[in-house]
A and B are shown apart, each in its own frame.
Chain A
Amino acid sequence: MTSIQMPQLGETIVEGTILKWLKREGDSVERDEPLFEISTDKVDTEVPSPVAGTVRKILVEEGTTVPVGTALMEIDEAGAASGAASGDGASGDAASSPASGAAPPAGATADVSAGAASSVGSSAAPPPAAPAPAAAPAPASAAAPAATAVATVPDRGPRSQILSPLVRRLAKEHDLDLAQIPGTGSGGRITKADVMAVISSGAAAPAMAPAQPMPAPSAGIGDEVVPVSHIRRAIAEHMLASTQGTARAWTMVEVNVDHLVKLRERVKDAFQERYGIKITYLPLVVRATVDALLEYPDVNGRLDGENIVRHRFVNMGIAVSYDAGLIVPVVKGADGMNTIGVARSIADLAARARAHQLTPDEVQGATFTITNPGPYGSIASVPIINQPNVGILSLDAIVKRPVVIDDAIAIRSMVNLSMSWDHRVIDGELATRFLARVKQNLESWDFAEDLGV
């Protein structure tokens, strides 16, 4: 319900007279349609409606003179759920802006990271973004779609609606609600300084200025100077932001995956023949991790100001290395997939990532991330958290090692599973329990049936 008040048409105008109602109770009203005519001692005008809806009640009679701010009329807005309906048409905007907002942040983020010039006018999907700073939260998140707030900046002056390209980009990258940022520029414009003040005060996660330039290369004779690509730059900014913006801690567990290695040896050919893709350990680890995430939902969450948002679904980000650098496509709804489904999804996303064919939607919304440097040979890694996730799991190389079993030495295939995690959100005990759960799952589950061969 929106309350329409006597507007203030000038600093010294303190009251106005309703000359004529243009709408009656029960009439429907379009946004910006005139509701009534007023006269003040300086100027007359008709007053338009800030929302679309139906006139519920008229509170003041024609001919009455009332002070500025007096409630004159009540309007029931059309359609939108109550929730955060404020009197300035936010709901009307929110109804339309996710449609317009969700696509642009994704697309525009891709544009920013991958270089606007190259994606303008291209008919193929734009080059995929580097680990996107998750402009839109997971679909079922209870938090308001902050990234789409670009469309709903309230009117705080004649130029408060002017958002420079820089301001828009910073707001997107840092997941800021521009409606919450006061504009101190000329005419109420939100300036770079205004946005930077919010960012550096830590109200939004990363504390650094995203527009920090790369340090100038000092090239000696014979050195090769390679300009930084936009993807590289975006990766750099994301990584630096994560490192500076999270309280990163790290925990590692050793997992005995001997049986998994044997299983894979046994079934890999049949699996390949049946499903057309290779079976790797990654889908198995994803499944084991999903279970642990559901058990410890804080790890599947994110820090949002004063709240920890626990996502309802698990969208598993899988870090993929490709020619342009690093990208993290997301297996959406991994908690609803079986192992084969996860395997398929990963294979598909990885292949399309390398072919530069991912859509912006596919690199956004991860609630947790797994990286797999194992195939390249590392046995332990300290990955950087893919913000705004709480943790990132590293699956390193599986190596045959001597281990102690029942006081005897045996050779087993072992793997180090480690996680970098954000100590602002969870503590060591939780992180360790979480990892222990993943370990337990991997060591005790029978994946054979799951693999269908």
Chain B
Amino acid sequence: MATQQVEAGAAGHGAEPRGKRGEDGQATYLIAIAEALWEEMERDERVFMLGEDIGVYGGAFKVTEGFIERFGPERVMDTPIAEETIVGMSVGAAMEGLRPVAEFQYADFMSSGFDEITTVLSRYHYRAGVPLPVVLRGPSGGGVRASSFHSINPEPWYAYAGGIKIICPAFPSDAKGLLKSAIRDDNPSMFLEHKWIYRRIKEQVSEDPEFLVPIGTADVKREGSDVSIITYGAMVHKALEAAEALAQRGISAEIVDLRTVYPLDEETILRSIEKTSRALVLYESYRFLGIGTEVAAVIAEKAFEHLDAPVVRLAPPNVPVPFSPPLEDAFLPQIADIEAAVDRLAGW
């Protein structure tokens, strides 16, 4: 594999993409993801990447900019527009001992490989006893005026398959640690990067190449005592803003960021409900059968005697993501909607 050294970047951290952190050393969600990929590629030669436009072009969102120069075209593979084949190749490569990380230009396109993902990838270990360390990753979610072909939240479709871990981080640090864990995991994972968060959110992120966040653990992003908001993805950030406004009115909201939506960290969820006795399940996947449906059922079943109010869900309707900005805004839960839902719960 032809590789070449790349000069240190702006913050003097060495090779890309760590060089792309801000002056203060903070990394955006996108850069944190790029760092994870870079570090795992450096750590383990069996890791390789494939996807549309990830090599020469540096990726549609520029996540993989600089990678092909460092790791070469055999480990940073540009593919045709052929999602089913991308998944199939990943399956085959994994069978042969490699550790593929497949990028989907938009998570929406994963459904072109639906059968390979659900019938083959998610079941292969069950059928043949051979673990497949495949990571499927791509940008998901809306709120960016990208309309229904580029804004899907596909996690419910693939969670249903049962054999794939589905990760939906909301913060850069979580994203980095979780992606590294996913790549090191011998099981298939789907790593969904919410595109609204890509360049909007940044924070201090560890540079320790062994920094990992365990898959399947939720995290309390804001402590509170009156209502628990169980959520993930971009909605975590909306919930945090709503919580600020609610705090001004004396309502203390606790925010649980699921981080991984399959499998669910039930213990953290239930512990929060035991504390607050009120649950708002906020999610961007569709209301009917979205991830929050399962969360609500778990709470109702296992925390029944801790509930002082019904379990309430807030999510968009099951319609194609609208293109028109006012329509998309009406479609997505907004901060005002979250506040109103919490108000109703608190006053039940």
Instruction: Name A's B-contacting residues (CB within 8 A).
Output: 112, 116-117, 164-169, 185-186, 189, 191-192, 211, 213-214, 216, 227
Contacts and interface: CB of A to CB of B under 8 A. Distances in A.
A117 B305 CA distance: 11
B305 A166 contact: yes
Pick the 5 closest A-B CB pairs, nearest first: A192-B308, A169-B305, A166-B308, A213-B271, A164-B308
Given A186-B348, A211-B274, A165 B302 contact: no
A216 B223 CA distance: 14
A216 B272 CA distance: 11
A172 to B, nearest CB: 10
10 contacts: A112-B305, A117-B301, A165-B304, A165-B307, A185-B348, A189-B348, A191-B308, A213-B274, A213-B275, A227-B267
Nearest to B266: A227
B302 A117 contact: yes
A165 B309 CA distance: 9
B346 to A, nearest CB: 10
Contacts of A166: 277, 305-308
A232 to B, nearest CB: 14
Contacts of A191: 308
A211 B306 contact: yes
Given A186-B347, A211-B275, A227-B267, A164 B302 contact: no
Given A164-B307, A167-B308, A211 B277 contact: yes
Given A116-B305, A186-B348, A213-B274, 11 more contacts: A112-B305, A117-B302, A164-B277, A164-B308, A165-B307, A166-B277, A166-B305, A167-B308, A185-B348, A186-B347, A213-B271
A191 B275 CA distance: 14
Nearest to A185: B348
Interface in B274-320: 274-275, 277, 301-302, 304-309
Contacts of B309: 164
B348 A165 contact: no
Contacts of B271: 213-214, 216
Nearest to B304: A165
Nearest to A112: B305
Contacts of B305: 112, 116, 165-166, 168-169
A216 B256 CA distance: 14
A213 B277 CA distance: 12
A213 B270 CA distance: 9
A214 B277 CA distance: 16
B304 A116 contact: yes
Contacts of B275: 211, 213
A213 B225 CA distance: 12
Which of B271, B274, B275 neighbours the largest number of chain A CB atoms within 10 Å of its CB? B274
Which of B301, B306, B307, B309 neighbours the largest number of chain A CB atoms within 10 Å of its CB? B306
A6 B128 CA distance: 80
B242 to A, nearest CB: 21
B251 to A, nearest CB: 12
A169 B305 CA distance: 6
Contacts of A214: 271
A213 B307 CA distance: 14
Contacts of A169: 305-306
A166 B304 CA distance: 7
Contacts of A168: 305
A164 B347 CA distance: 13
Contacts of A117: 301-302
Contacts of A112: 305
A211 B277 CA distance: 9
B302 A192 contact: no
A117 B267 CA distance: 15
Interface in B115-140: none
A126 to B, nearest CB: 14
B246 to A, nearest CB: 16
B212 to A, nearest CB: 11
A134 to B, nearest CB: 18
Contacts of B302: 117
Nearest to B301: A117
A227 B302 CA distance: 14
A268 B267 CA distance: 50
Nearest to A189: B348
A167 B277 CA distance: 10
A168 B267 CA distance: 23
A169 B303 CA distance: 12
A214 B304 CA distance: 18
Nearest to A191: B308
A227 B307 CA distance: 21
Nearest to A225: B267
A307 to B, nearest CB: 30
A216 B220 CA distance: 11
A243 B274 CA distance: 21
B182 to A, nearest CB: 20
A117 B302 CA distance: 7
Nearest to A163: B308
B266 to A, nearest CB: 10
Nearest to A190: B308
A164 B301 CA distance: 14
Nearest to A169: B305
A192 B277 contact: yes
A169 B302 CA distance: 14
A211 B306 CA distance: 7
B308 to A, nearest CB: 4
Nearest to A162: B348
Contacts of A211: 274-275, 277, 306
Nearest to A213: B271
A191 B274 CA distance: 15
B116 to A, nearest CB: 36
A192 B348 CA distance: 11
Contacts of A116: 304-305
A432 B306 CA distance: 42
Contacts of B307: 164-166
A186 B307 CA distance: 16
Contacts of A186: 347-348
Which of A166, A168, A169, A214 neighbours the largest number of chain B CB atoms within 10 Å of its CB? A166
Nearest to A193: B308
